[in-house]
Amino acid sequence: MTTTATDRDAPATTAPLSARRVAWATVALAVGGFAIGTTEFVTMGLLPEMANGVSVSIPQAGHMISAYALGVVIGAPVIAVFGARLPRRALLVALMAAFAVANATSALAQDYEQLVGARFLSGLPHGVYFGLASLAAASMVTPERRGRAVSRVMLGLPVATVIGVPAGTWMGQHLGWRTAYGAVALIGLLTVVLVLLLVPATPGDRTATGRRELAAFREPQVWLTLLVGAVGFGGMFAMYSYIAPTVTDVTGLPKSAVPVFLLAFGMGAVAGTMLGGRLADWSVLRSLVASSVAMGLSLALFTMTSQWFVPGLVTAFVVSAVGAVLVVNLQLRLMHVAGDARTLGAALNHSSLNAANALGAWLGGLVIAAGWGYTAPSWVGAGLSLAGLLVLAWSVLLHRRTS
């Protein structure tokens, strides 16, 4: 077992806990991740219904997705800085209660402006919740098991893409789009109860200050790690954002095959998240390098295999799995390089990933608009993965020089 710097500097275990207690606590935290993943992606499947419901065009309704992403980017650093002194469990409960209210507000919104505002508010707890949940999970286990504990918490997000999003989309299409957000609000309230019952209480860090948390931004490794996520993980979004037209125009399959590819993506993310935790317990830095290389290679391979159903499906699964390994290890890396500002460092990962979403989708759209076809975004993705790998190489060299 290789011990990394991340292992040595991870938060200390709060108290010896049984494996069963840890398992139930991480399940409780993962339920919150499931709710967050569902509300983030179900909007994409219900855009036509939502646009019709508040009397706007579909492109205008797309601003609801952007509003949520903006909430994630803003909420992560702001809430982390001001909430660093609070007990983790109490803050997790408050975040999920606010999340439930914001989603209930989405369900009850009467016009476009109210709905956009509610989606922005729904995104605010996203990054901080995952960051605090990761810190809480890491504090409950021994150093050699922290990667697996964090990956179990983050498992709620990919499971949402496999179960929550399809179920929410079906519910919204058949029972009205408002019911999907109402259901998410109820899951948020369920998370509040589960966290109170199953997650151990931890005292707040009375030494934490906003200035100390913001000091994380003075660390070059924090910026480099965020850049690896925003650029390197943007490669996957360049391909994933245009998977539907790729399946119909390149693979030559009917629209009914698109959900099959989306399911493959979801299953790949579940498998990759579990694998990512085990690899993190081996070595976070080596796992980041390996997953970055694999991401670029698999995206380049998809430009060729997407012509056929089964090879394309398998490659899509691999791209998603590798991406999930990258996400888990980026989370752990940020928890380490932020130093004493662990709350902010852990929360910033999802701000970075939302930036990756915007960058990948934008660049992928540019090459399609230029007439280069629907395989071009995957080539863009491979290029972004290479760029992220170069940033990671810089980070590794700096790590070795300063260790």
In the predicted model, is pLDDT for residue 209 greater than 80?
A: no
Which string of DSSP letters, residue by residue, matches 11-28? PPPSS---HHHHHHHHHH
Say yes or no: 181 and 247 in one domain.
Answer: no
CA neighbor of 78 nearest in space, from 134, 135, 123: 123
Q: Is 62 a residue whose pLDDT tops 90?
A: no
Burial class (CB in 10 A: 0-12, 13-18, 19+), 8: exposed
Q: Would you list the DSSP string of 180-239?
A: HHHHHHHHHHHHHHHHHHHSPP----TT--HHHHHGGGG-HHHHHHHHIIIIITHHHHHH
Pair 178, 255 in one domain: no
Residue 158: which region, alpha, beta or left (left: phi > 0; alpha: psi -120 to 50)? alpha
- Judgement on whether residues 56 and 196 belong to the same structural domain of the protein: yes
DSSP state of 84: T
Residue bearing the bigger pLDDT, 322 or 217: 322
Tokens 């280069």 appear where?
A: 372
pLDDT at 188 over 90: yes
Residues 236 and 199 in one domain: no
The residue type of 367 is V
Instruction: State yes or no: pLDDT of 403 exceeds 80.
Output: no
Q: Kindly state whether residues 179 and 306 are assigned to the same domain.
A: no
pLDDT at 122: 95
User: Do residues 316 and 298 make contact, with C-beta atoms less than 8 angstroms apart?
Assistant: no
Q: What is the pTM of this model?
A: 0.82
Structure tokens at 88: 């983790």
Residues 165 and 236 in one domain: no
Question: Tell me, what amino acid is at 70?
Answer: L
Beta-carbon contacts of 4 under 8 Å, excluding residues fewer than 6 positions away, are 283, 284, 285
Q: In the predicted model, what is the mean pLDDT of residues 1-12?
A: 40
CA angle at 79 for the pair 74 and 81, rounded to the nearest 5°: 105
The CA dihedral of 137, 142, 145, 150, to the nearest 10 degrees, is 10
Same domain? 202 vs 233: no
155: nearest Cα among 33, 294, 9, 62: 33
Tell me: do 84 and 187 sit in the same domain: yes
Place of tokens 């806990």: 17
Has residue 191 got a pLDDT over 90?
yes
Of 173, 208, 243, which marks where a domain is finished? 208
* Last residue of one domain, picked from the residues 175, 208, 241: 208
Position 349 scores a pLDDT of: 87
**112 shares its domain with 244:** no
Residue-number span of the structural domain to which 281 is assigned:
215-403
Are residues 225 and 293 both part of a single domain? Answer: yes
User: CA 334, CA 44: separation in Å to the nearest integer?
Assistant: 29
pLDDT at res. 6: 40
Q: Is 366's pLDDT higher than 70? A: yes
Close Cβ partners of 76 (under 8 Å, ≥ 6 residues apart) = 126, 127, 128, 131, 344, 347, 348, 350, 351
| Same-domain pairing of 78 and 146 | yes
Number of Cβ within 10 Å of residue 353's Cβ equals: 28
**Of the ranges 8-12, 59-63, 225-229, 360-364, which is most confident?**
225-229
Alpha helices in 62-145 (DSSP H): 63-83, 88-108, 112-123, 126-139
Helix, strand, coil percentages, rounded to 5, for the chain? 85, 0, 15
SS3 state at 130:
helix
Give the residue-averaged pLDDT of 30-41. Answer: 93
Summarised one tens digit per residue, pLDDT across range 310-355 is 999 999 999 999 999 999 999 899 988 887 777 787 888 888 988 8
Rounded to an integer, what distance in angstroms lies between the CA atom of residue 216 and that of residue 172?
Answer: 41
Q: What pLDDT, on the 0 to 100 scale, is given for residue 336?
A: 86
Residues 159, 95 share a domain: yes
pLDDT above 70 for 8: no
Q: What is the CATH number of the domain that holds 311?
A: 1.20.1250.20
Q: How far apart are CA 171 and CA 158, in angstroms?
A: 19
Band the pLDDT of 77: cuts 50, 70, 90: confident
Tokens of 295: 């991401």
**Chosen domain end from 193, 208, 223:** 208
Is residue 236 within 8 Å of 289, Cβ to Cβ? no
Q: How many domains does the chain have?
A: 2
Measure the N-to-C terminal CA separation of the chain; round to a whole number of Å.
Answer: 20
- Residue (of 54, 72, 38) closest to 116 by Cα position: 54
Q: What is the pLDDT of residues 233-287, one digit of tens each?
A: 989 988 987 888 888 889 999 888 888 888 898 899 999 999 999 999 999 999 9
CA–CA separation, 137 and 88 (whole Å): 11
pLDDT of residue 126: 92
Q: What is the mean pLDDT of the chain?
A: 88
pLDDT at 10: 42
Specify the range with the lowest mean pLDDT, choosing from 1-10, 299-308, 331-340. Answer: 1-10
